[in-house]
Amino acid sequence: MKRFPNAPETRTQETEQRRSFPNNGKSRIRVIPETPELWKTPNAGLTRACYADNHRMKTVIAIANQKGGVGKTTTACALGVTLARAGERVLMVDMDPQSNLTSSFGVRDADGSLYRALRDEDPLPVIRLDEHLSLTPSSADLAKGESEFLAEPAASQFLLQTALAQTSLDPDTIVLLDCPPSLGILAINCLTAADRLLMAVHPGRYELDGLKRLQATVDRIKQKINPDLQTLGVVLTNCDLRKKITMLVLERITAVYPVLGLIGRDAQLQYACGDGTIRFLKDSRAMQEYANVAQEIKQLVWQNHPAQTTT
Ligand SMILES: Nc1ncnc2c1ncn2[C@@H]1O[C@H](COP(=O)(O)OP(=O)(O)OP(=O)(O)O)[C@@H](O)[C@H]1O
Ligand SMILES: [Mg+2]
């Protein structure tokens, strides 16, 4: 089976766009578009410019799919751990009020609240798990954000981007955003803050319809808010290779997107996520498969990256 059939997009065009942004020297300024409408944001380019210019080397990957239970959180956990083991600096951000990513790392009562950080009332909470791996935990109060942010008059889609821009991170950090299972304002914040999109898909009958909906939202965000957003590809999760549907979905998806990996069903991985011990899981088959995906991602993310071309 050919697992990586499509050539990746390069960053060349994106790099050119980023370099053409003016330096306003206002990295901590929160730019609020004047219009309340979500999709009409005249200052979006300016916000993006401040962000891009001051955080040129950071890469933000949104792990998304509006469908629930398809392996987004497991993928965020496993990629966070395997990228960190491969020497990358990684910040995982749990943007789901269910807080599954947070509990997968055994974090229960974190100080600081992501919800308040998004409201610009507190700094973004960042827990350092080890030398390379950090976590921005979620908490139940983030659920308030889904309706509250949408009702706010302006710039509700830029809250995460702004909070990240105000956070001091090592410049080459890979930020992984675990999106909630919706296309609501929290997911839109992820897609606005991200420069890369990774779709987690569990093979099933209606997967392609779901991906079309996600793609329509992504296209809209690219057009109106975040032209830098590029699709890295799809990770097929929790796959039962004996089932016909797995191969059928694989075949259909590879016709449209790069498939970065096919992760088998693995009870050890499931247990470790539920148990809060994912960081210590080493000899599991699925973790090895995620390590291969992490290598792919490393290559895609840093190839043609400004850090590689700056002398
Ligand atoms: N490779 C795997 N092997 C075994 N179980 C898995 C695997 N990947 C995911 N799962 C299990 O599938 C279920 C859903 O996974 P996960 O929570 O990652 O999905 P999700 O898309 O983040 O869900 P939600 O949309 O609710 O946030 C969990 O019980 C998880 O442990
Ligand atoms: Mg999840």
Provide the angle, in degrees to the nearest 10, between the axes of the packed helices 72-85 and 267-275.
90
- Our answer on whether the CB atom of 266 is closer than 6 Å to any ligand 1 atom is yes
Torsion of CA 279, 284, 286, 290, to 10 degrees: 50
Q: Which protein residue has the closest C-alpha to ligand 1 atom 31?
A: 270
Ligand 1 centroid–CA 75 distance in Å is 8
Which has the minimum average pLDDT: 33-37, 56-60, 62-66, 90-94? 33-37
Express as a percent the part of the chain with pLDDT over 90: 65
Higher confidence at residue 43 or residue 95?
95
Quote the CA–CA distance of 263 and 256 in Å, as a whole number.
Answer: 19
Could you report the per-residue pLDDT of 6-16, keeping only the tens digit for each?
A: 333 333 333 33
Q: Is the CB of 237 under 6 A from ligand 1?
A: yes
Q: What is the mean predicted confidence (pLDDT) over 263-288?
A: 95
pLDDT of residue 111: 72
Angle ∠(182,241,198) on CA atoms, nearest 5: 35
Confidence class for position 56, pLDDT limits 50, 70, 90: very low
**Atom in ligand 1 nearest the alpha carbon of residue 264:** 1
Examine the pLDDT at 102 and tell me if it is beyond 80. yes
Q: Note the ligand closest to the C-alpha atom of 64.
A: 1
pLDDT value, residue 221: 94
Q: Which of 93, 96, 270 to mutate to test the pocket of ligand 1 (most atoms within 8 A of CB)?
A: 270
- Using DSSP's 3-state secondary structure scheme, residue 231 falls into strand
Give 137's Cβ-side CA count (13 Å radius): 18
SS3 per residue for 275-286: HCCHHHCCCCHH
Residue 178 CA: nearest ligand 1 atom is 22
Range 114-127 average pLDDT: 94
- Token code pair at residue 210: 């779901």
The string of pLDDT tens digits covering residues 150-195 is 777 677 999 999 999 999 998 899 999 999 999 999 999 999 999 9
Average pLDDT in the 208-237 region?
93
Total-model pTM: 0.83
Q: What is the DSSP string of 230-271?
A: EEEEEEEEEE-TTSHHHHHHHHHHHTTS-EEEEEEP-HHHHH
Domain parsing of the chain, residue ranges: 42-300
CA distance 304 to 283: 33
Residue type at 238 in one-letter notation: N
Radius of gyration of the chain (CA): 18
Atom of ligand 1 at shortest range from CA of 96:
27
pLDDT (mean) for 240-264: 93
Q: If you take atom 15 of ligand 1, which residue's CA is the nearest one?
A: 71
Cβ–ligand 1 contact at 95 (below 6 Å): no
d(CA 296, CA 196): 13
- The residue that leads in pLDDT, 106 or 26, is 106
Q: What mean pLDDT value characterizes the chain?
A: 81
Query: May I ask the CATH class of domain 42-300?
Result: alpha beta
Q: Is the pLDDT of residue 288 over 90?
A: yes
DSSP state of 202: -
